[in-house]
Structure 1
Amino acid sequence: MELKIQTLSFKHCLFFFTFQVVVAFFFFSATFQGKVKPDDIFVTDVPSKPEEPVKIILLWTWPFGTAFPLNQCPSQFDGTGCFFTVNRSLYSEAAAVVLHSRDVCSSKNQLPQMQRPPNQYWIWFTMESPSHNPNTGFMEKLINLTMTYRADSDIFTPYGWLERHDGTENVSIPEKTKLVAWVVSNWNPNSRRVKYYGELKNHLAVDVFGNQRLPLPREKHIETLSKYKFYLAFENSIHEDYITEKLWHNALASWAVPVVLGPTRANYERFLPPDAFIHVDDFPTAKGLADYLHALDKDDNRHKQYFYWRRSLKPVAPARLNSHYCKVCKAIKEAPSYRTVPSITNWFK
């Protein structure tokens, strides 16, 4: 019995050996005749295309000392191929260094002091207006790219924008029980907005929130402002494209019609439909504006016309600065020929 099993095993081995020889013969014959390509067999031996080196983007400081998640770009901003960091030890390897103006403006010593690597981009970033950006003179001939709310910046970072939607968005206006609100923290009696308010309040009741005025808890910001039909989106200084969160967040997020004081109506219309806001310059006097708002308050149909644009558009106001920084990645990958901005002071005014 045992001998029989061994005999059978030998026969089986002989059979499989013969079978393998035959298969090998036909396989290599086909290869020789060009029917099977060597790359089909040894595909793992073909070297893959090397990936582009990761571009390091160094945030020289957290803006105003406020940290936020890095390397977590929103879906609409492509952050692939870039690595964001605040680790200054990576300075010599960084493709770009982002300098937040207000955090480095007090002294040139706050800028990087190490030898600058060839073709490293220094990016000047600010969301403040020229009126609140001091000491730009010592940055002359040091900056390669600008990153601001101005539309002509190398990296455009507006406070908000409009996006199209498919028409399924809910455009029902929240119930409004109050008339006009204004949130102000920087009360400068010599500013145009405070002077204008001084005239307006003689003809129109305005609820003013802010320092030493009506309290407005952060967690109830939008909930509170949503009760008002109109919001005074008055900018603290008047400059091209300087249209801030006062409009994009305070007014539009609370479904209040913005009453704007800032750049010209034509400038606003570069970013908003003409019937999305009311401009103080549309009226010769503050009393004229007050009379118009009182008339709208009594006419629901005319008031609703300021919301028709929402049937196809929705406002977007990023809550964090990471969306602005994420734009640096695309800008660096598509940057024009390396150059230096001659004068930040002359450009940003």
Structure 2
Amino acid sequence: MAGRGGGCPPPCAGAQPGQGVGAERRRRQQQQPEQQQRREQHARAGGGPAAPPRRPRGAERAAAMEPGPRHRPAARPRCPRRWWRRRRPRWALAAALLGAALALYACLREPPPAGAGAGPGAGAGAGAGAEVSVLLWWEPFGRPRRAPDCRRRYNITGCRLSADRGRLGEARAVLFHHRDLALHGAQGLPRAPPPRPPAQIWVWMNFESPSHSPGLRAFAGLFNWTMSYRADSDVFVPYGYLYAPPAPRPFSLPRKTRLVAWVISNWNEEHARVRYYRQLKEHLAIDVYGARGLALAEGGVVTTVSAYKFYLAFENSQHTDYITEKLWRNAFAASAVPVVLGPRRANYERFIPPDSFIHVDDFPSPRRLATYLKFLDKSKPNYRRYFAWRKKYEVHVTSFWDEHYCKVCEAVRTAGNQIKTVRNLASWFES
């Protein structure tokens, strides 16, 4: 069959004259009379029957292969190039399929253009390399601030922060501070026109405890994200945290000349911290600074507290994850051992080592706590154990409010176009 065998199907297009089967047959017929005449002449000369001419070695096999009426010629005519192309359709098909597969693989690996899929209000998009616009609807507590340089301070790029409400339509996220929201009410929120862009993220921002966050139930189903000190917030920004530096620096404990300090600005006899203080001071001398006590030394809280061995890090209310600057700045940054009153010990241990603080719940009464603090005052090795964690960790105190704004930018860039709604803000935050 043509296209399957080793030769071309006869007749082969493009063959030269005299190279076909018929031409070979005519040449052999012309040679036969001349051979017969030479044999007759040899017989008349007495040489006997004319012997066939001697063939070289291997000629018998070659003679058997000589072309005859039923054989193809020994030298096949070369096929034209176009016939060769027709004989390899499988190779051409395989090459075409391979090329298509490589093209598809390259398309799948190519990243989408920045901002692809972003809806109105997405600004330049939330992809890597795209700039994110964040609008602050109210300056917290009505105090204007200069927009921070997120790249220089926190290595967060692509953030454009503004308090200009004229940029509402282009903002990818809008921040609403709860204390100002409670003050102005729902009528202070953006109103149509323009309509709220479907891809715009409204972020509820609050760093007060539930005990000092009124009006939560009025804002159900209004916000997309939450930002607070709670670890389960959409944007988690704690008051501080510990981190392991690349090369730990040696820790040097400041000289301690006093025993216990407490700094308080909001004095309320109904607070658990004030009630506990009144019981503790009956067994232990405590220096109080702030509204009801001594004036802070020049340099502020950290400079003043660094001279004390212990600091009362008492929160104004007790709620999940509500661990404020009273621990991170007033105690840790001042190198004083914190005596904490807030959420349960297990909650503290989610963020700090168990041997870095003293919890009031560890003792059955304020009197027993006072006895233990006096013991540590006299036992230097036992007191220094509360600083063992300093060999591994450094303290970061969150900067209000610059770090919060930049963290929102970072969260928006990471989340892309994910949109959700906080259905019941109060039940979550008060839990």
The answer to whether residue 416 in structure 2 is matched with residue 339 in structure 1 is no
In 1, Cα distance between the equivalents of 2:151 and 2:331?
24
The counterpart of 2:144, out of the listed 67, 89, 92, is: 67
In 2, Cα distance between the equivalents of 1:327 and 1:79?
8
Decide whether the 8 Å contact of 1:233 with 1:261 is kept in 2.
yes
Aligned residue number for residue 16 of structure 2? none
The counterpart of 1:112, out of the listed 172, 185, 190, is: 190
In 2, Cα distance between the equivalents of 1:226 and 1:304?
15
Alpha-carbon spacing, 1:76–1:264, altered in 2? closer, same or farther (3 Å): farther
Structure 1: tracts of 5 or more residues without a match: 1-48
Alpha-carbon spacing, 1:185–1:265, altered in 2? closer, same or farther (3 Å): same
Aligned residue number for residue 377 of structure 2? 297
Percent identical pairs in the alignment equals: 49
The answer to whether residue 394 in structure 2 is matched with residue 314 in structure 1 is yes
Q: Which has the larger radius of gyration?
A: 2
Decide whether the 8 Å contact of 2:135 with 2:165 is kept in 1.
yes
Q: Larger relative CO (CA 8 A, sep 6+): 1 or 2?
A: 1
Decide whether the 8 Å contact of 1:71 with 1:79 is kept in 2.
no
In 2, Cα distance between the equivalents of 1:78 and 1:143?
28
Decide whether the 8 Å contact of 2:203 with 2:226 is kept in 1.
yes
In 2, Cα distance between the equivalents of 1:185 and 1:306?
27
Following superposition, the deviation at residue 337 of structure 1 comes to 2.7
Aligned residue number for residue 84 of structure 1? 161
Decide whether the 8 Å contact of 2:260 with 2:311 is kept in 1.
yes
Aligned residue number for residue 341 of structure 2? 261
Scaled by the length of structure 1, what TM-score is found? 0.83
Decide whether the 8 Å contact of 1:276 with 1:306 is kept in 2.
yes
Following superposition, the deviation at residue 64 of structure 1 comes to 1.6
Scaled by the length of structure 2, what TM-score is found? 0.67
1:266-308 deviation per Cα after TM superposition (whole angstroms, max 9, x unaligned): 0000000000000000000000100000000000100100001
Equivalences for 1:1-349 in 2 at 5 Å?
52=115, 53=124, 54-73=131-150, 77-106=154-183, 107-114=185-192, 115-217=195-297, 219-335=299-415, 337-349=418-430
Decide whether the 8 Å contact of 2:267 with 2:292 is kept in 1.
no
Alpha-carbon spacing, 1:221–1:238, altered in 2? closer, same or farther (3 Å): same
Say how many residue pairs are matched.
301
Aligned residue number for residue 3 of structure 1? none
CA RMSD of aligned residues (A): 1.7
Decide whether the 8 Å contact of 2:240 with 2:328 is kept in 1.
yes
Higher mean C-alpha deviation, range 268-277 or range 329-338: 329-338
Decide whether the 8 Å contact of 2:337 with 2:386 is kept in 1.
yes
